[in-house]
Amino acid sequence: MTGLIEIVRQGGCVRVTLQRPEKLNALSHALIAELTGAMAALGAEEDLRCVVLTGAGRAFSAGADVAELSGVTPDTAEAFIRHLHGACRAVRDCPVPVIAAIDGACLGGALEIAASCDLRAATRRSTFAMPEVLIGIPSVIEAALLPRLMGWGRAAELLFTGKTIDAEEAHRAGLIEALAGDDALDETVAGWTDAIRAAGPRAIRSQKALMRRWEQGPVDAAIAAGIDAFRESHGSDEPRQMLHDVLARRGGRRPRGEG
């Protein structure tokens, strides 16, 4: 590790911070490698409940490190972009929800990382863009997720024009799920992390795995996978115990058909 990622644990939820603020957290080869390794290691922790991914300083991330990008050649182009894809894939493969907490610029490859997260919250001063076409290259890898979030038309506008949009437009478009005041990002994200920690940990992991399967196959296959997951969830005591606790908080009322 080179100190480009900070990891802070908060009661089952881990905050992962990109720590290159003097370069607006630009995605250098070393930062990408450290982020990929950190996400893979966290995903192996059985007591992990959720991850919050954010950036230090004035930006979530300005995207690919321009100094490194300018050195890409036909011989190194594939390795360069696969390296960034590895970080996006590590975020998507994390078995618990990953939340992007965005404050400031979220551009290019950084927006692909944010799109790889399960939820996104941003401050009003945040900005978003996929400017690759403006420097002669297409937006690739996890840019493929953008039409699912924004719809094809809005994603096409972002990708074809390279335009920068503000947080309010990103929120209207569905690119982010929550728009927070500039000093209320942590509070907004905490609403999600608290809810996730209150839910059943096995259920949350099962839900995320199902959502990944929903993305990849036809509806009938997704429904069949859900039936399997429901059956498997009852192989542990978690559903019974959590239902018992909910009923106790409601004054001991039993569901219809019980006893």
First-to-last CA distance in the chain? 57
Sequence-distant (6+) residues with CB within 8 A of 104 are 24, 55, 57, 58, 59, 60, 123, 125, 126, 127
Q: Does the annotation count 64 as an active-site position? A: yes
**Tokens describing residue 142:** 């996890």
List 15's β-bridge partners, or say none: 8, 52
Q: How far apart are CA 196 and CA 51, in angstroms?
A: 11
Tell how strand 105-107 and strand 59-61 pair up. parallel
Nearest to 63, CA basis, from 162, 175, 154:
162
Sequence-distant (6+) residues with CB within 8 A of 91 are 39, 53, 98, 113, 116, 117
Nearest-10 crossing angle of helices 201-216, 219-233: 160
Q: Does the annotation count 63 as an active-site position? A: no
Q: Does the annotation count 132 as an active-site position? A: yes
Identify the active-site residue in 90, 109, 173, 178: 109
Three-class SS of residue 239? helix
**145 near 115, Cβ under 8 Å?**
yes
Q: Does the annotation count 235 as an active-site position? A: no
Q: How far apart are CA 73 and CA 76, in angstroms?
A: 5
Identify the active-site residue in 38, 56, 64, 90: 64
Q: How far apart are CA 42 and CA 128, in angstroms?
A: 27
Identify the active-site residue in 101, 112, 122, 129: 112
Identify the active-site residue in 129, 132, 142, 178: 132
Give catalytic residue positions: 64, 109, 112, 132
